[in-house]
């Protein structure tokens, strides 16, 4: 599986909903509450290291993965 697929599967598991997340130009966008956004951030940070969390903009948070 590719990186984006693995990340989207993790986010879907956290949110318990599908089609609430997607990638655009390397940035992950997730439509969720502030509490779920923090859960996603913590899980992805633990797995992938440094991540920049931005938002919300209309209940959508963005995550940038830093190399």
| Complete domains list, the chain, with CATH | 3-65 (3.90.1070)
State yes or no: pLDDT of 1 exceeds 80: no
Res. 3: pLDDT tops 80: yes
- Return the H-helix or E-strand segment holding 63: strand 60-65
Instruction: State the pLDDT at residue 17.
Output: 87
- Give start and end residues of each alpha helix (H) in 1-67: 3-15, 34-48
Residue 32 CA to chain centroid, in angstroms?
10
CA nearest neighbour of 56 among 35, 25, 34, 38: 34
pTM exceeds 0.85 for this model? yes
- Which pLDDT does position 8 carry in this prediction? 96
Per-residue model confidence as pLDDT tens digits over 24-53 = 999 999 999 999 999 999 999 999 999 999
Residues 65 and 67: their CA atoms lie apart, in Å, by: 7
């Amino acid at each position: 599986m590719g990186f984006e697929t693995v990340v989207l599967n993790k986010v879907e598991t956290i949110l318990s909903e599908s089609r609430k997340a997607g990638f655009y130009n390397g940035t992950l966008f997730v439509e969720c509450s502030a509490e779920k956004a923090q859960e996603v951030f913590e899980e992805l940070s633990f797995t992938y290291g440094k991540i920049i969390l931005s938002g919300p903009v209309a209940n959508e948070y963005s995550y940038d993965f830093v190399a």
